[in-house]
Structure 1
Amino acid sequence: MNFKLRNMVAATLAGSVLMSFGTSAMADSTFDLVQALVAKGVLTEEEALPLLKGRENDIQLADKKVKKAAKLGISDAIDNATLYGDIRVRAEHREGSGVAVTNAAEVDSNRDRARYKLTLGVKTTAGDFYTDLALAMGQSGRSDNATFGKNPTAASPAGGLNEKENILVKRAMVGWNATDWLTLEAGRMENPLYTTPMVWDADLTVEGLTEKVKYKLNDADFFLTALQASYRGDRVYTGTGAGSNPTTELFAYQGGARYQFNDHTSAKAGLTYTTINHNVQNAAFKPGLSTDALSGNVGVNDLDTIEVPAEVNYMVNSSIGVRLYGDYVVNTSGSDRFNAAVAATSSADRSKVSAAGNDDTAWLLGFVVGSANDFKSFEGNKMVKGDWQARIWYQDVGAYSVDQNAVDSDIFDSRVNIKGTTFKAQYNVQDNVAINFAYGHATRKNGALATAVGSGNDIGLNLSSFDLVQLDLTYKF
């Protein structure tokens, strides 16, 4: 009798539990009952599994519904969504010496400002597909920064406290893990190439298609990457003549490998060929002379570069790691770029540009030392509270070697035909909060030519020397 009574009580309890378990209710009452009893602690998961034999799909569906209930307005088709971003505050000093107008005497220019940067994004996964959508500030692709007390403009004469920054689309990408070794991406995305800021500013994104192949052979991880990107404009063909306008396109092909020697040593290297076609700027790149204040020199004609980035990582002991890294670039069409620059120069100055010669190579050599919990963390720059890192590097960039529109906007002021040294240090106050300090000093490489600028710079001089000091506070979430 007591046994029957207990069964009746259990059945009554299960029924009341089912009434309150509406978020995971399903058509099959047996499954619902067992699920409710597990939720109330009457049964353990181990005890429940034999009762649910053959109901694996229902279990997975219920688990998915419970997970979705904890997410705000997410589609049932999405497996996971991750919000991420960062806020950075920066104090900066830039100082340059050079000429402001043709044949003018050399002057100094100083620029002190406080800046801030916001990036806000969300990544999702759904089966073999994934997305990355990110918003950021900054009209220019090579800078996501905004300046405190932004200067008044004709469009916004009040400026200052009355100025608000626009939030713009930084990334909008869809990816597909087609196989274990092949990944395809399309849209506006992060630069997929293994490279350095000497060639590509880290704030730049690319728009187009990417194919990535990764495979492992013993202790070596091989990677192949192909990029087809729209550099500027779109294809427009209207009859002939001025109505036709092919887009400028960038194609890059990279192969490389990472090799793990042991638990504390690895090496990585790549070989990249990049070409840019259809210079729709309709103007050849011309470096100008040392007496020119040259800007807006956006020509991308005759850029067919071979780049070789490489690094070696080594843990000195259980908590300190070092990295030696470098990058070398040669523009295989450098002589054509040089000849086009000579032809585009005024007849009065043509002989001077010609006499300055063709400098179609760029190179960088750097060293990093820092703390880390383990080798993998150091190699991946995954820093946690209390970790520190310092790096120093030297770079030498020829006038005709790389795309002047893509080089780093901080080091050194978006210029080519420049060389110098940079020191950076970082300390993590918390896992997600870091303080960074940077100092860089550069000088003009070829004294006869200008330090040419592409699509933007901060010091309005043809630089003979340049100094940069930055102090950052970054909060990641």
Structure 2
Amino acid sequence: MKSMKLRGVFIAVTGALALSFSAGAMADSTFDLVDALVKKGVLTEEEALPLLKGRENDIAAADKKVKKAARVTISDAIDNATVYGDVRVREEYRKGGGFGTAGAGAGIFGEEERSRGRYKLTFGVETKADDFYTDLAFAMGPGGRSDNATFGNGGNGTNGANNKETLYVKRAMVGWKMTDWLAVEAGRIKNPLYTTSMVWDGDLTFEGAAEKVSYDYNKINFFGNFVQSQYVGDYKNFSNVGNPSLSTSGDRYTNNILAFQGGLKFPITDMVSAKAAITYTTYSNNKNNGNNSNQNIFVPSLTGASTGIVAANSGTNNLQTIEIPAEIEFKTAGDLSYKVFGDYVYNTAGSDRFNAAINSVGANTTTGKKLAAAGNDDTAWLLGAGITSAKDKKPSKGDWQAKFWWQDVGTYAVDQNAVDSDLMDSRVNMKGVVAKATYNLRSNVFVDVTGASATRKNSALATSGTASDIGLDLNKYQLLQLDLTYKF
């Protein structure tokens, strides 16, 4: 025990001196001689330690100087800080065929092709202090569903002057690990829900609070995620209508997302495991950032309608969804593993969403009757399979994976503001197939190829959405993306 203790002291002392020498902080012939004698076996470590006595202050000062020069200083209250991020370069091609939505082209079939180079930067810092932690991240792109910037489009405008892009706050979160099984996070947080891109775009964050539960029992992991997020915030209520400067027309109503998820991950055999969850998500009210009479009602356009596919389609009224994501993974004795996955969504308030759309234009009008005849489609589903080749749990050179899936999204099933912005061009009322392949050039550098092909689901209704990239009411859609990503 004494020998081990002496060994530790000697290593600490000589290590500090070695660092000092390498930094040019101090040259010590005594240390060189003692170190050489120990290495040659002339002296033992126990015999060498007394020869270094009296140098403790020099060693400590040199060690402090080296450490100060070698690392970024952080608060003493923080245990550690981790810098992370990625740079991605993308070449993208989109093509859509459908009806014009405005002006002289309204209702006339045409095609639009879009090809562009894009790039993305994400830069973040995570810190930990005892049972508290933070995540601060910046990214490009002002839109919530895209962190991309487009070549030749610097500063979100023309790039003739080679304008620079802006970094935006993507996440700003404080977390508290209250127990081994419960963590609470608040701020702008990463989406904690186990879900798919059919429902939530991967770039979206929540603003508010979340509680995350993870508990292991008898090889089964029970997890829960609970979200309270403000979709539209800053509530205002003017009650003194006798004052001319205070009018109820200036009232502002908040719109909150509440999500409750419970699930489990468990082994079926030594080589087969499964994961599944059930999530209930609701939106707090039907009003948007306007006055008391401004009902933010979702009204899908009819096919070829001249009213356009974006106007009046941001409504989140009557969305109370039950989502069931699930997967089964099959491992092999080698590097390969296989996965079958799926997702199912049912909007329990879909009939109310359907009726609200009809009533907003008048049930007895021509438009109202056509919307009623189109029917209520309040479900969405996804089913796919994948194969992965990985040498270890951590990514390494030569790893690869491929997956494909089919998805089918009804007009009244999900929030059209939250679905993936790429695969179906930010639309609902779409069905189609997606394929994606990834190859690791290095442990932190990989290439992705993604393709999608989709068509309109309900021929009577427009492919509604917000912030779509193709300006047509789509009948058909194709996407091809080639990505190169460097992580750090």
TM over 0.5: yes
Aligned match for 2:468, one of 457, 471, 474? 457
Q: Tell me which residue corresponds to 1:250.
A: 257
1:360 paired with 2:378, answer: yes
**Residues 271 and 371 of structure 1, relative CA distance in 2, 3 Å threshold:** same
Are 2:136 and 1:120 equivalent residues in the alignment? no
Shift of 1:344: 2.0
Preserved CA contact (<8 Å) 1:68 1:74: no
Residue 427 of structure 2 corresponds to: 415
Unaligned ranges ≥5, structure 2? 1-9, 22-33, 50-62, 242-247, 289-294
Letter in 1 for 2:485: T
Please give the alpha-carbon distance, in whole angstroms, between the structure 2 residues aligned to 1:370 and 1:394. Answer: 19
Which of 280, 294, 301 is the matching residue for 2:287?
280
2:301 partner SS? coil
Q: Work out the CA distance in 2 between the residues paired with 1:99 and 1:426.
A: 35
Pairing 1:52-451 to 2, within 5 Å after superposition? 70-101=70-101, 104-150=107-153, 158-239=158-239, 241-281=248-288, 282-292=295-305, 293-296=308-311, 297-345=313-361, 347-374=365-392, 377=393, 382-451=394-463
Alignment correspondent of 2:483: 472
Q: How many residues end up aligned between the 2 structures?
A: 423
In structure 2, give the amino acid aligned to 1:465.
K
Give the aligned residue type for 1:125: K
Q: How far did 1:233 drift?
A: 2.4
Secondary structure, aligned partner of 1:354: helix
Give CA deviations for 1:233-252 in whole Å, capped at 9, x if unaligned.
Answer: 22112226223222110000
Native 8 Å contact 2:155 2:166 kept in 1 = no
Name which of structure 1's ranges 109-118 and 211-220 shifts more when overlaid on structure 2: 211-220
Structure 1 unaligned runs (5+)?
A: 1-9, 22-36, 49-62
Per-residue deviation, 1:91: 0.4
Deviation at 1:43, TM superposition (A): 8.9
Match of 1:52 in 2: none
Offset at residue 159 of structure 1 (A): 2.9
TM-score (norm 2): 0.81
CA contact (8 A) 2:138 2:167 kept: yes
- The separation in 1 between residues aligned to 2:75 and 2:317, in whole angstroms, is 46
Residues 78 and 356 of structure 1: is their aligned pair in 2 closer, same or farther, counting only changes over 3 Å?
A: same
- What letter matches 1:295 in structure 2? V
Contact 1:149 1:161 in 2 (8 A): no
Partners of 1:219 and 1:261 within 8 A in 2: no
Instruction: Tell me how far apart the structure 2 counterparts of residues 70 and 204 of structure 1 sit (CA, whole Å).
Output: 37
**CA gap 1:272/1:219 in 2 versus in 1, 3 angstroms:** same
Matched residue, 1:5: none
How many percent identity over aligned positions?
53
Q: Structure 1 CA distance, aligned partners of 2:361 and 2:420?
A: 26
Measure the CA separation in 2 of the matches of 1:220 and 1:304. 29
